Amino acid sequence: MKKTQIIVVNGGADDNDEWESSISALGYETVAAENLEEAADISKSEGAWVAAVDTAKPGKNFFDSLRLLKKSADDLLLIVAADRDCLDRVIEELRTVAEDFLEKPVRLELLEMALRRASEKAVLKKKLAKIRKQQEIAEKTRDRTTEIAETEKLIAVRQVVDKMSSFVARIAKDVQGGMRYFKQMPYFVSIHDSDCKVVALNPIYKSHFGNKIGKNSWEIYLGDAASRRGCPVGRTLDTGNVQRSHAVVRYLSGRHVPVIVHTSPIYDNEGEVELVLEVSAGTKELESFEIELKSTQQRFEQLFNEVPCYVAVLDHKFRVTALNRKCKEDFGDFTGKGFFDVFRQAQTPYFTCPITRTLEDGEPHHSEMILTAPNGDIQNFLAWTSPVKTAAGKLLQVNVIFMDVTELRELQDNLSTLGLMIGSVSHGIKGILTGMDAGIYLIDSGFYKDMPARVEEGLDVVKLMADRMRKVVYDILYYTKERELETTRVNVLKFAGEVAANMDIKIRGANIEFVCDFEPFLGDFEIDVSLVRAAFVNILENAMEACIADKADKSHQILFRVSAEGDCVVFDFIDNGPGLSEEEIKKIFAMFYSSKGSRGTGLGLFVTEKTIRKHGGTVTLESSPGEGAHFQIRLPRAPVAAEVEEKNGEAPDGFENLRPAR
């Protein structure tokens, strides 16, 4: 990965050149800035994301300038170095501005860690900005798509009415009288609603009868057709059937003209006649109308399929009536099925579902929906719904546009987890460094005052802090490195003995009695040795630390017991330390939870429980305040051979000094 460009800012320190050399030695590209104003200009022109500021005696002007720099370049990440006597003030003034603080003289490894953290955070911010930009593009595309669809729909309706007169001329030869008859009699096209009112008409209709929109359908007729029940539209509304009839109409001029009338019902989703198409023409008009309508439908379908999001059209009963190509490609063609039979609602409450709300109030809505996709995966979707209505405003269907944002939500969760882990680990390391400072002080003072006992005490403290630091690093590595199990068949007794021998000196050195109780014939089992060993050592170290922290006046003991139960091997770890409350037991295996305060990262037991589960085993804990703790691990194993060699009952090398409980 390309390293981030670093702006090295001279904040008034004499050793700024050495500061810049140290950063360059770590492999980072540096750009020098004489002051904070120059750093801001460099950030804007060069696109740098991290600035390292070295200061000597910071004052109010320095703090104000640094805040202005952060305000003008919000994406710029700041690392500030200061002398020890003014570091606390720098941290207090800039805790909401800078990403990291270093004490001068700066240790190279701490500088490298600070630069790496800032660089990684800069990369994450770039990725998040890219995702947000993509989301904005998708939203603009959706808005534009909706606008195009609405416009195309209006154009199509207008074309159906306005152009029908022109294309029915192509079939005029099929009408009695041929072209002569067509030229003598205009072709009128109109649409009527269920109340027998005219809702749309073509220009020829309007020129001969006037603007009849909103008027009764029978007003242009004479004789029996000049009534609600007698007119062609009225008969089609009553019967629900296509009608062909002869009638006489009256023009605005007063002229009476005989016509051949064709009426056809248009149904809604519930099977009721919603509209009636009326064409005064011969017997072939509907065929030509069908051709033109099919052309319009093809244009709609092309637009429908090119939308980059998922699009579905639903009826009143949530049944899918249409799907675009992308939806079919990713989830299959589920036209005719219930939308929520295919996409089961995982966590979206009924009252926040945009589809339900649009069906209820006929208005557009949008919200995030958590749905179980057809493949069984739980996915996050941003959904927009819009009503499909008649000209009279009646809701027919619901158009649903939804976009998968699962990866965005996962990234947000990962960023939250990363921040929590960094905070927890930083807090733990801070405590370790404080203890290490105390040990170094004891060594220094004991060395110069010729006090060997103090030097030895300081070394013990430093060793203890180093062990804790090592454990923190191992826990982080086990948590972050996801890998497949590398199992091997091992002897249970030998494996347990090696774990016990490894912990024996450490536990007894803490003045704690370590008792091992192993059944003699335990056979073999298949495990990932390094992972399970680390899990067992972690539990034993926790038991040891609990006993050390126990203030009760009693002799402490840790019991490590191994037994066999059928196809399982059972490992018991029992101590008589201070124990745990019921609330602590509920959270003991949760990530970042620790009962040790600043001495723990909260990853140890989380990693342990994860390791055992990967092996198909279980971890249980029984404890109560003042009564110690009992961890039990059950691990499955492959069937043991019928003949068990005698060596299974032998104690492993280096384990002879452990006393059995019996």
Which is more confidently placed, 289 or 254? 254
The reported pLDDT for the residue numbered 395 is 85
Does the structure show a pLDDT above 50 at 600? no
On whether the CB atoms of residues 475 and 607 are closer than 8 A, the answer is: yes
List helix spans (H) across 15-169: 16-25, 36-46, 60-72, 84-94, 108-162, 164-167
> Which tens digit of pLDDT belongs to each residue from 509-519?
888 999 999 99
Does the structure show a pLDDT above 60 at 651? no
pLDDT winner (highest mean) among 455-459, 480-484, 565-569? 565-569
Write down the mean pLDDT value for the chain. Answer: 75
- Three-state SS at 533: helix
Dist CA 77 CA 67 (whole Å): 12
Does the structure show a pLDDT above 70 at 492? yes
Does the structure show a pLDDT above 90 at 633? yes
The reported pLDDT for the residue numbered 216 is 93
Which is more confidently placed, 400 or 583? 400
On whether the CB atoms of residues 358 and 350 are closer than 8 A, the answer is: no
Query: Model confidence at 559, in pLDDT bands (50, 70, 90)?
Result: very high
pLDDT winner (highest mean) among 9-13, 285-289, 357-361, 380-384? 357-361
User: Which stretch of 448-457, 478-487, 651-660 has the lowest confidence by average pLDDT?
Assistant: 651-660
The reported pLDDT for the residue numbered 311 is 86
The reported pLDDT for the residue numbered 16 is 64
The reported pLDDT for the residue numbered 174 is 41
> Which tens digit of pLDDT belongs to each residue from 303-342?
677 777 888 888 988 898 888 888 888 888 888 888 888 8
User: Which stretch of 75-89, 338-352, 555-569 has the lowest confidence by average pLDDT?
Assistant: 338-352
Which is more confidently placed, 436 or 416? 436
Q: If you search the block for the tokens 């989380």, which residue do you land on?
A: 606
Element (H, E) at 298: helix 285-306
The reported pLDDT for the residue numbered 641 is 36
Which is more confidently placed, 390 or 645? 390
List helix spans (H) across 307-405: 325-331, 339-342, 354-361
On whether the CB atoms of residues 282 and 259 are closer than 8 A, the answer is: no
The reported pLDDT for the residue numbered 182 is 38
Percent of the chain with pLDDT over 90: 10
User: Which stretch of 32-46, 274-288, 464-478 has the lowest confidence by average pLDDT?
Assistant: 274-288
The reported pLDDT for the residue numbered 246 is 85
Taking residues 102-111, what's their average pLDDT? 82
Percent of the chain with pLDDT over 70: 72
**H helix and E strand count, the chain:** 19, 24
Which is more confidently placed, 536 or 158? 536
The reported pLDDT for the residue numbered 413 is 56
On whether the CB atoms of residues 234 and 217 are closer than 8 A, the answer is: yes
The reported pLDDT for the residue numbered 49 is 62
- CB pairs under 8 A, 24+ apart, for 315-324? 315/269, 315/396, 315/397, 315/398, 316/269, 316/270, 316/359, 316/395, 316/397, 318/355, 321/269, 321/397
Taking residues 395-422, what's their average pLDDT? 69
Does the structure show a pLDDT above 60 at 181? no
Burial class from Cβ neighbours inside 10 Å (0-12, 13-18, 19+) for residue 452 reads: exposed
The reported pLDDT for the residue numbered 592 is 43
User: Which stretch of 94-103, 365-374, 476-485 has the lowest confidence by average pLDDT?
Assistant: 476-485
Which is more confidently placed, 437 or 579? 579
The reported pLDDT for the residue numbered 504 is 86
Q: What size, in residues, is the chain? A: 662
User: Which stretch of 36-40, 158-162, 242-246, 614-618 has the lowest confidence by average pLDDT?
Assistant: 158-162
- Among 561, 593, 599, which Cα is nearest to 580's? 593
Write the single-letter amino acid at 138: A
Write the single-letter amino acid at 475: D
The reported pLDDT for the residue numbered 478 is 58
> Which tens digit of pLDDT belongs to each residue from 214-252?
899 999 999 989 999 999 999 999 988 888 888 888 888
The reported pLDDT for the residue numbered 517 is 93
Which is more confidently placed, 34 or 521? 521
For the chain, what is the radius of gyration of the CA atoms? 40
Query: Model confidence at 260, in pLDDT bands (50, 70, 90)?
Result: confident
- Three-state SS at 595: coil
